[in-house]
Amino acid sequence: MYQSFSLLLSTAYAPPVSYFTKLYHNEGALIGIEAHENYLKQTYRNRCHILAPNGVQALTIPIEQSSELKTSIRDVKLSEHGSWRHLHLQAIATAYGASPFYEYYIDDLRPIYERKHHFLWDLNCDFLERLLALLDIDIRWERTETFTKIGEHPNDWRYGLRPKHPTPDPTFIPKPYYQVYRERFDFVPDLSILDLLFNMGPESLLILRDSKAPCPTP
């Protein structure tokens, strides 16, 4: 089954630039989003990193705790405690309100937070579709029908892209770009795609294009 997909990825919340670099460089191909794994804590599946006035800030979506030891990724329910939707929007406004393209894009993203998704999977899929449209990346993606064992797919990044101890990726070389707090911090690579989108707008595609290492000359 994996042979029909050029790339395997996990679902993710406003994924990092490395995630979208891989999507960009698989334009025209069919991407598989893993729908048959068990939920993993402390991953991009329910968190993203933005650059706030005081440095990198993690935005984590709270989920309901299941009585089961393992929960299918498509069965993970969102928690409604703590007004996280409002807090995430507020944090994004604080971080990017002064960025060049915040006003241009925020009205397209705000409705996702206003919808009452019950499942993390549905929220992430909604976010992915909107981000692909805003970035004008033309890919086809489908949820996987079965679980492909680790090591069986030649382009499997379901578990390599993670906040802590990511798998080394010689094909991803972050291209520096303008960030609002460039005078306060050095360039911070591989933040949420929101950081790139709000700071660079339509030129985000150039960054994604140039963040992939060139293929070695034979």
Report which DSSP code applies to 149: P
What are the extents of the domains in the chain? 2-210
Report which DSSP code applies to 3: G
Rounded CA-CA distance 14/17 in Å is 9
38: which residues sit within 8 A by CB, 6+ positions away? Answer: 70, 71, 72, 73
- pLDDT at 218 exceeding the cut of 50: no
Counting Cα atoms < 13 Å in the Cβ hemisphere of 133 gives 9
Q: pLDDT, tens digit, for every residue of 157-205?
A: 999 999 999 999 999 999 999 999 988 999 999 999 999 999 999 999 9
Q: Are 157 and 9 in contact (CB under 8 A)?
A: yes
Tell me, what's the pLDDT at 67? 65
Rounded to a whole number of angstroms, the CA Rg of the chain reads 17
Residue 84's φ and ψ, nearest 5 degrees, are: -65, -35
pTM for the predicted model, two decimal places: 0.95
pLDDT, the chain, mean: 94
Q: pLDDT, tens digit, for every residue of 113-135?
A: 999 899 999 999 999 999 999 99
List of E strands, 26-91: 30-33, 47-52, 55-60
* 176: amino acid identity, one letter: P
Q: pLDDT, tens digit, for every residue of 199-213?
A: 999 999 999 999 998
